[in-house]
Amino acid sequence: MEEQPLILDRYRPLADLGSGGHGDVVLAFDTRMARRVAIKRLPLPLDRAGRPLEKAGLAEARTAALLNHPAIVIVHEWDTDSDEAFLVMEHIDGASLAEILDETGEPLKLDEVAAVVRAMVGAIGFAHDNGVLHLDIKPGNVLIGRDGRVKVADFGVSALTDASGRAKGTAGTLGYMPPEQLRGGALDARTDCWALASLTYEMLTGANPFDADTLEGSLFKIEVAEIPDPSEFEPGLSAQIDDVILAALAPDPAERYESVIDFGNALLAHLGDPAAGEASLAEVVASLVGVDDSDGAARFAPLGLWDRLARFASAGRRTLAAAACGWLAWAGLTAFGLPLAPALGGAGLAALAAALAPGLGLAIGALAFGAGIIAKGSVLGGVLFLVPAVAYWAYAGRFGRGDALAPAAAPALAVARGALATPLLVGYAFEPLPAAASSALAALATMTASAATGGRAPFLIVEWRFFIDPWTQTSVMTNNLRDLLAPGPLMAILAWALAGALCSLACRRATRTMAVVGVSLGGAALAAGYAGWAWLAPATLTPEAFLPHIGVALMLMIVVLALGAPTRPEEP
C-alpha cells in the first residue's frame, strides 16, 4: 500500500481490506498500542458549501461501540474529521465466512455450522437485548480467526430501536434481506432472524436460494417461488433441520421464530458439536491464509522504527525527563557549594518527580538551575534563563509533553556538534506551535550553555565538561552572555523557531516524502537566519563557522528519515 499519512494522528495505514456497509475498510497499525486494527471510513454527507449535513457516521459508530460481547468484533474508538467518521475495530487475523465458502466451493460440515450458529446467536441476541439490530447479516460480516472462533462484524448499518422495538431501514444485502426490509417496512428482531436463517441455509447447502440481481427478483424468490428444502441439496440433512430453517424463512414475520435465541435453540439440537466445529474451522482458515504471520511482515510493508517504538514513547519521555531534570537540579545545587551527597540527593528527588510527573520535575530542575546561575554571580544569566523558562513552563512545560523537554536536552546534542538538528527533530515529532516554542527555547538553552563553557559565535558548541561541572567557566560567562543580546543571536533564535514550525507543518502528513520537504524547509530557514547574522556582524560570524554543524545535522536527519515516517502524539 502506498505510504499514507497517519489516520487520526495515530494509525498507520497498512492495506486496503475492501468496502462494506457505508464505507471502506483499512488495515492499520496503532502506533500507540502497537497492534493492528481495522478502520472503517464512513464519508459524511456534505451540503453545497462542503459542510457535513449531519453526523450520520457518528450514530453508526456509537451504535456499534455500545456492544461488548465475545462474539462481536470489538470497537476500540470512533472519531471524525471534517468529512469522515472513523470506526476503529479489532483486526481479526483469519478469513471471512464468504472467503471460506468461495474458496472451498462446498457446504460447511455440521460441526462447523454449529460453531458459527452458536456464536452468531449469542452475538445477535446480545445486540437485540441492547436495542440494536444488525440488518446486514451475510457471510462477509462473519469473521473466523485462526483459532476457529467466530465473530460478527459490521454493525455499521444497524439501528437503535425505538421504544416500540422497531426500526426503519432498507440497507442490507440481497439474498439476506426478508420482504419487510426489501420494501423499507418496519423492522424488528425477526428481520435479523430471517437473515441468519438464510445464511445458515447457505452454510448447509452451499447455495443461497434468494440471491438475485434486483430487489424484485429477490422478493419473487422469497414470496412466490417455492423454497427447496435444504436436504434437497444435501440428502444427509435431517427433516428437523428442514423444518427449523423453513419456519425461520417464512415471508410473514408473524410466522417466524420470535427471536434468534429461539431459532438457535431449535436448530442447534440437530447440528453437530460446536467445539469440534471451531477446531475444524481453524484448520480451514489455516489452509486459506497460510502460516501465522503475527507481525505482518510477509503481507504488508514493514513498519518504520518510529511506529514500532511509539508504544514506548511515554516511558522514553519520562526517562528523558528524569535525566534532564535531575541534572538541572544537581547543577543548580552544586552552585551553592553543597557537598556531593546532598546535591545528588536533591537531584535524585528532582529526577523521581520528573519520572512521575514530568511537568513538576521540569519546574524543580529549571528553578534550581536558574538559582544556581545567580548564585555564581551572573544575575544577567539567571534572568536570561529564568524568564523564558518560566514563561515556557506555563505554556507547555507543566503538561509534561515530549516537546516541553526538548530545550533541556538540546545542549547535549550540541556536544556532538549536532545542535542545528534540534529544531528539525522537534518539528519532526511535534505540532507546529509547540515545535516553534520548543525550538526557540532550545536555541536559547544551547547558546547559553555554549557561552557558559567559553564558546563563541555562533554558540553551537557545548563542551562535554559542562555536564560534569557547569560552573568552571564563570569568569567568562557574563561577558559571553552579553553577546547573546545582540541582533544576530536573536535572529538565529527566530530562525530555530521558524525551522521547527515549517518542519512540523510538512510532517503533519506523517509521510517520508513530506518529512523530507519539511526538513528542507527547516534547513533553509536556519541557513537564512545565520546568513542574516553573518550579514549583520560579518566580523563576528562567518559562514565557515557553522557549516560543519550543518553537515552533522544533515547526516543525523538522513538517519532519522531512513528509520521511518514521522508519528505524532495525541493532540493535547
Answer whether 27's CB lies under 8 Å from 36's CB: yes
**What is the set of active-site residues?**
136
Residue 235 grid coordinates: 440428502
16/41 Cα distance (integer angstroms):
11
Q: Which ranges of 161-309 does DSSP label H, i.e. alpha helix?
A: 179-182, 189-205, 215-223, 230-233, 239-248, 260-268, 274-289, 305-309
HSE, CB side, 13 Å, CA atoms: give it for residue 317.
21
Q: Which ranges of 8-166 does DSSP label H, i.e. alpha helix?
A: 56-65, 97-104, 110-129
Mark 139-178 as b/e (b = at least 16 C-beta within 10 Å). Answer: bbbbbbbbebbbbbbbbbbbbebeeeeebebeebbbbbbb
562/204 Cα distance (integer angstroms):
52
Secondary structure class of 377 (helix, strand, coil) = coil
DSSP 77: E
Provide the sign of the torsion angle of the four alpha carbons 179, 183, 188, 189, taken in this order: positive
191/508 Cα distance (integer angstroms):
46
Rg over CA atoms, the chain: 32
431/509 Cα distance (integer angstroms):
11
Answer whether 423's CB lies under 8 Å from 500's CB: yes
Mark 341-355 as b/e (b = at least 16 C-beta within 10 Å). Answer: eebbebbeebbebbb
222/236 Cα distance (integer angstroms):
24
Beta-carbon contacts of 123 under 8 Å, excluding residues fewer than 6 positions away, are 69, 71, 72, 151, 152
- Asked if residue 458 has a cis previous peptide bond (ω within 30° of 0), the answer is yes
DSSP string, 86-128: EEEEE---EEEHHHHHHHH-SPPPHHHHHHHHHHHHHHHHHHH
